[in-house]
Chain A
Amino acid sequence: MRPRRASRAPGLVLGLSVTLACAVEATAAEGIDPGVLVGGDSQCPTPAAVWQNLAPLVPGDVLLDRLRVTRGAGPPVQVFDLGSSFLVIAAHRVREYPEPARACAERARFAAVFIAIATGADPASAGAAVATNIPPVVAPVALPPAAPPQPRLRLEVGATATAGLGGGAPTVAPGVAVRAGFGQSRLVPVAAVAFAGPANGSVGGVDTRQWQGTADLDLRAGLPPLGAARPYFELGAVVEVLIERPTNLSTAASRASYAVGPRAAAGVRLGSAHSWSPFVSVHGAWFPGAPKQFALPAGDLGRTASWNLGATGGVSWGLR
């Protein structure tokens, strides 16, 4: 069944309010420190309020068992106030509930029900009083879907093929690239380094062997998902360091040069149940001030490649 949207939540609020209003004071949770089970910095609802609503639903010892609380670890249930919404994490499940009215009591009741369901606890087993007063909770189908939290850091490692154009004969070189995206929003900064080479080229009769290193800073914009694919687009700037050595000169010198230019890329990451997922991207960079090359007796050999076009394929890891 396709999960329903958060707009269905008011109906659930009403039903649960009735249910919870009929609940009696729980006794099973007596003797359990609420702070061991429910944590987070939320002010609306507070962890204490959530606990107050949770205790009548599920016996504390059942919660301890289901949540596999270990001594010294943090609370297994976390509640976060996100302003117009709030987020509950329990038993490795996460739900974000839109609730712009900031009705803290209702938020607490919602959170408690979600926790009870998430832990797999049957409210009916929470004691006679609770069992007789709380109907079977069918909230799972009524809970609004919530997107899994975005990773705070996305690390990508891939193999690249880069073509240099516009500076003598075109060159193609293999390489590797490492990219890191920071943040959870749809627009995130990305920093990357790449290395490619060797590329065998020829310009003005001078054969060369090139190694290229690049570092770029970009902004990545996530585009709407296409099925399991997560397309994105990047725009930024790149610095290229080019080490070039002629191979057919009697007096040859390895020379390093650098160039700066704009960079654009488009890619797609495939959705995955794992923390890692495959990705592919195509990218291009333009170096309007590519270095000039000179050799005797050919003289001016023109500039190094002013266009870099390439493709990268690899694995992306989302790190929370």
Chain B
Amino acid sequence: MDLGSNVLWSSTFEGNNFLEWTSLDPGAANAMPSPPNTIEVSSTYAHRGRHAAVLTIDAGSDGGQQNAGLTRRGSLPVEAYYSAWYYLPRTITVGTFWVLFKFRLRTDAADPASDDELFDLDLVNTSDGSLALAIYDHRTGANLALATPDPVVPVSVWFQLEAFYRNAQDSSGRLTVWLDGRQVVDLEGPMAPTPWVEWDAVNVGEKLTPSTAVVAIDDCAISLSRVGPTGTISE
């Protein structure tokens, strides 16, 4: 008995293309600059089904920021859960930054030129070289204090990043982030200056070692209820 759904949108890449992202206006799937950065749907990796997006950047120590990303923006709800599964084929030493998941803002909802950064879910290296999650708040220019410091992100294993984002301009605003179902941050207070929301599932880095960093992304969803590691986003 199918009762219905709280999933507003999902992307499983099973169509072997990016139409789930690019058929929506505005939505995007691109790599900049390209080359050397690439974005493709591949059957090399898959969380469920046969396909996933593979985002590859070449972020050597001598270059600037390299970008490959999937974007949903604009017509997003004021509050929702944003979920995506990630796969890192190998570990990376992060020089400047390495971002997987972003929320962006506009200071003027009607003005694309007012786009700006808000929160980045980054990967950083711990003292033993493992990759751990960090959350950078562009408004303060600092990482948020996490519930558990340096939550380790697995390599060669699919993991889920999920965030509840209520883009309120007053104290009812909220950002809660889970890594594989484990809450790592719960921030309350005013968020972006306007209700406009952009969410990105990305591979953005600078000064990575080795310089070629591959990120596979699958089973992305925007939902009015939490997806969680065991959630189902499509029938």
Contacts and interface: CB of A to CB of B under 8 A. Distances in A.
Interface stretch (A34-42, A140-148, A249-257, A278-286): A249-257
Interface string A250-271: 1111010100000000000000
B17 interface: no
A296 B233 contact: yes
B28 interface: no
A244 interface: yes
A296 B6 contact: yes
Contacts of B128: none
Which of A205, A257, A297, A299 counts the most B-chain CB atoms under 10 A from its CB? A297
A304 B226 CA distance: 22
Contacts of A253: 2-4
B193 to A, nearest CB: 27
A208 to B, nearest CB: 7
**Interface of A (DSSP majority class):** strand
Nearest to A206: B3
A252 B3 contact: yes
B2 A297 contact: no
Interface stretch (A47-55, A117-125, A226-234, A287-295): A287-295
B4 A295 contact: yes
A249 B2 contact: no
B155 interface: no
B223 A246 contact: no
A297 B3 contact: no
Contacts of B232: 296-300
A178 B159 CA distance: 56
B226 to A, nearest CB: 8
Contacts of A257: 1
B224 interface: yes
Contact of A295 (B6, B8, B234): B6
Nearest to B225: A205
A70 interface: no
Contacts, number: 80
Contacts of B234: 296
A249 B1 contact: no
Interface in B1-57: 1-8
Given A297-B223, A297-B233, A208 B5 contact: no
- Among the interface residues B4, B7, B230, B235, which one has the most CB atoms of the partner chain A within 10 A? B4
B202 interface: no
B145 to A, nearest CB: 28
B89 interface: no
Contact of A299 (B1, B8, B83, B231): B231
A244 B1 CA distance: 9
B6 A249 contact: yes
A250 B1 contact: no
B1 A292 contact: yes
B228 interface: yes
Contacts of B7: 250, 296-297
A275 interface: no
27 contacts: A205-B225, A208-B3, A245-B3, A246-B3, A248-B6, A249-B3, A249-B224, A249-B225, A250-B8, A251-B5, A251-B6, A293-B1, A294-B3, A295-B3, A296-B4, A296-B233, A297-B6, A297-B7, A297-B83, A297-B223, A297-B227, A297-B228, A298-B6, A298-B232, A299-B230, A300-B232, A304-B1
* Interface pairs A-B: 6 shortest CB-CB: A296-B5, A297-B231, A299-B232, A249-B4, A252-B4, A297-B227
